[in-house]
Structure 1
Amino acid sequence: MRLSTFIRENSAPIIAEWEAFAGTLDPSPEAASPLSLRNHIAYILRFVADDIDSPQTDAEQVDKSQGKNARRSTNSVAEVHAALRQAGGFNMDQMVSEYRALRASVVKLWSAQTTETTLQDIHDLTRFNEAIDQELTESISYYSLKVERSRNLFLGILGHDLRNPIGAMTMSAELIGRIGSLSERQTMLISQISVSASRVMEILDQLLDLTRARLGSGLQIIRETMDMAFVARQLVDEMRTAHPGNSFTVEVSGDTEGAWDRPRIGQVFSNLLGNAVQYGFKDLPINVSIRGETHDVSVSIHNDGVPIPPNAVAGIFEALVRSGDGEDVHLQSNNLGLGLYITKEIVVAHGGSIKVTSSEKTGTTFTARFPRA
């Protein structure tokens, strides 16, 4: 019996066998319902049987094996299955296990009734595996896309909708300070509210930047003629005010003018200086170096302190990443792991590059290069 015919005529026992196999995979409680396990599998079996019977050239077979098979519909059976599993609380591993179990069930039952293997059987089995692989690839791709969209939507809503209430809180704190005489304790509390609200706004700005970068639209860059050294001195002065216990030095050489996005460049300095303050030794200065070269301007920020572990350097610019253990944990700006990721995105959006070196002997140095235009 042809494999495609066997699948059509034995879908009920195939699903029963598959369900018993899937039950041994120890799925999570939300995935354990027999009804939820059987849901939609009949449609996948029908697609696989039809795919086995469909004509296919050698070139089309090669394309399919390389994941280049053309889409047959806007919402494929595999994509619908992935959407149902994602909405039903299945994780990626559970969904992949479903396909593994389905493949094993079909092959086991078909092999049990096959007495002699022919070339046609080998051909059908090859087409069957190709079809399952295609369905699995489409399901994984769609599931990943749904998860990514949900995450980005959450970040976008979080970053956008929280701005108004936080802005109202900041304004209320400012108005309270103007109403009349306050005790020293009251003044300190009002000031703390304003500072905390400002920090939350910075975090929300970073979340919005993260969302833009993850959606693929990139960070918006508006270039204007500016002096990199001037912005560096501005941000260092702000850091001196915010962290009077730290000392800073600024070294400038060469032509430091170019066309960059001034607010974004300010973010770069703010994130790197904040990182240096957080992890540098308080009794040693933080050194800022701006060097104008022929085609670009380099920015280096150095601090002496606990070095970044060697195994963490490669991923230090990734979003939501911690490096190190215990008290030596290196968290990026605002303890969310966003600061250095956004810094890298800003530098890359300008067509530049950024790197870091770190050791106990030489300290930690972040170096970014910005093309002049």
Structure 2
Amino acid sequence: MRLAEFIRNNMDPIIGEWEDFARTLVPAADHMGSLTLRDHIQQILEFIIVDIESAQTTEEQADKSRGEKPASSNPSAAGIHASLRYDGGFNMDQMVSEYRALRASVVKLWNVSKPDITEKYIDDLTRFNESIDQALTESIRDYSKKLELSRNLFLGILSHDLRNPLGAISMSSQLTMKIGTLTGRQSMLQAQITDSTNRALEIVNNLLDLTRARLGSGLPILRQAMDMGFVANQLVDEMRALHPNREFLLKVSGPVTGIWDKARIGQIFSNLIANAVQYGFRGAPITVRVEGLPNGLAICVHNEGTPIAADALRTIFNALARAQSNEDTKSQPVATNLGLGLYITKEIVVAHGGTIDVTSSEFEGTTFKVFLPTRPDD
């Protein structure tokens, strides 16, 4: 029996051994079911069968051995497998080891069937190894792409979320030095420096956790009892120090205590208010409302400004999406803004079990509204 036919007739034991090996790749596989562990193995085997049975010239074989086989315009099963393994928390070594185990498993099972050791046997084995190497190359390529994207997003998040608190620190420090002797105003500015520095450190610590947890797996949340009104006042004061020429209005009503991640909630306020500053008219106030509801809490940030275009509304919460700012100039190109604030905000809201949406029109301005359940099980 030729190798391609053997694989076709023995899919179940081959897939069973793949699953058994994948189950040993801990901790990622600890909580995965059979279907997830078998991810795309049948499609990968079907690719191998077709590849072995397809006609191949000597030149094509040489190209494949160098990893130069033309890439398909459609995602391959091996590429999708790599992407899902990355999202599931498998590292590169674990993913590569799956192919090493698959190679050994197929050869072992085929030899147990006692095939005739002929020239065709050697040819089939060569073609099989070429196919495995091709699938492995595609998996490594797609895994590396996701890893690079994760690194880029990490750097973007770090630079984006540290900008506002560090800006407040810088401005407060400068004002403190100019005022002279210690006064009540100086005491307030010094307190602002302390608060903003602490928030920056909280963000850095959370970003380190985020890197370990992988972007594709969602943001880690550390819940504790907190007062949303207190955090709102803190972040609005921070924005007032950072933008002394802008007007900020804060309205807090109803019960606003609950179980949330205080540092992450601070990011929501910071990102939404900074977005309103950037895209709102300079002479119009920015209104922040925190409203306690029977089953949760609503946060609304409103600004008057050029309405968001309909096509932009559809992608506004995507990573790297960015609209045109009212303050963009030729000396400040759009590329300087990474467009990550709303993406980060959405991820934090979703991690809390909440929702976020936006409305924007010329007559009513732009309003971002966040709903958060008061407790994790609400």
Smaller-chain TM-score range? Answer: 0.5 to 0.7
Number of aligned residue pairs: 246
User: Given the superposition, is the C-alpha separation of residues 286 and 149 from structure 1 closer, same or farther in structure 2, using an over 3 Å criterion?
Assistant: same
Residue in 1 that maps onto 2:268: 268
Matched, 1:145 2:147: no
User: Which 4+ residue blocks in structure 1 deviate beyond 4 angstroms?
Assistant: 57-60, 97-100, 132-142, 153-160, 204-214, 324-329, 331-334
Q: TM-score, normalised by structure 2?
A: 0.52
Matched, 1:69 2:45: no
Matched, 1:286 2:259: no
> Counterpart of 1:321 in 2: which secondary structure?
coil
Question: Which AA in structure 1 matches 2:342?
Answer: L
Match runs of 1:161-172 below 5 Å: none
CA distance in 2, matches of 1:289, 1:213: 32
CA distance in 2, matches of 1:326, 1:52: 65
Match runs of 1:40-51 below 5 Å: 50-51=3-4
| Contact 1:159/1:208, CA 8 A, preserved across alignment | no
User: Given the superposition, is the C-alpha separation of residues 51 and 98 from structure 1 closer, same or farther in structure 2, using an over 3 Å criterion?
Assistant: farther
Residue in 2 that maps onto 1:336: 338
CA distance in 2, matches of 1:367, 1:136: 48
Q: TM-score, normalised by structure 1?
A: 0.52
CA distance in 1, matches of 2:224, 2:250: 23
CA distance in 1, matches of 2:366, 2:74: 48
CA distance in 2, matches of 1:337, 1:302: 19
Task: Please say which structure displays the higher CA radius of gyration.
Answer: 1
- Identical pairs, percent: 42
CA distance in 2, matches of 1:133, 1:366: 51
CA distance in 2, matches of 1:364, 1:134: 53
Which of 340, 352, 355 does residue 353 from structure 1 map onto?
A: 355
Question: Which AA in structure 1 matches 2:318?
Answer: E
Matched, 1:225 2:225: yes
| Contact 2:156/2:340, CA 8 A, preserved across alignment | no
CA distance in 2, matches of 1:301, 1:286: 7
Question: Which AA in structure 1 matches 2:372?
Answer: F
Where structure 2 has 5 or more consecutive residues not aligned to the other structure, the ranges are 14-34, 52-62, 77-129, 159-165, 181-192
| Contact 2:288/2:302, CA 8 A, preserved across alignment | yes
Deviation track 1:270-314 (CA, whole Å, cap 9, x = no partner) reads 110000011111111111111101111010000010121110112
Question: Which AA in structure 2 matches 1:283?
Answer: G
Residue in 2 that maps onto 1:367: 369
| Contact 1:212/1:219, CA 8 A, preserved across alignment | no
Question: Which AA in structure 2 matches 1:96?
Answer: S
CA distance in 2, matches of 1:322, 1:229: 29
Residue in 2 that maps onto 1:95: 71
Q: Could you tell me how far 1:138 is from its partner in structure 2?
A: 7.0
Question: Which AA in structure 2 matches 1:355?
Answer: D
CA distance in 1, matches of 2:131, 2:326: 43
Match runs of 1:301-340 below 5 Å: 301-323=301-323, 335-340=337-342
Deviation track 1:312-337 (CA, whole Å, cap 9, x = no partner) reads 112111111223599889x9997111
Q: Could you tell me how far 1:50 is from its partner in structure 2?
A: 3.0
> Counterpart of 1:281 in 2: which secondary structure?
coil
> Counterpart of 1:96 in 2: which secondary structure?
coil
Match runs of 1:34-45 below 5 Å: none
CA distance in 2, matches of 1:317, 1:282: 24
CA distance in 2, matches of 1:348, 1:274: 20
| Contact 1:353/1:368, CA 8 A, preserved across alignment | yes
Q: Could you tell me how far 1:144 is from its partner in structure 2?
A: 1.6
| Contact 2:355/2:370, CA 8 A, preserved across alignment | yes
Residue in 2 that maps onto 1:56: 9
Question: Which AA in structure 1 matches 2:42?
Answer: N
Residue in 1 that maps onto 2:252: 252
| Contact 1:299/1:368, CA 8 A, preserved across alignment | yes
Residue in 2 that maps onto 1:127: none
| Contact 2:299/2:370, CA 8 A, preserved across alignment | yes
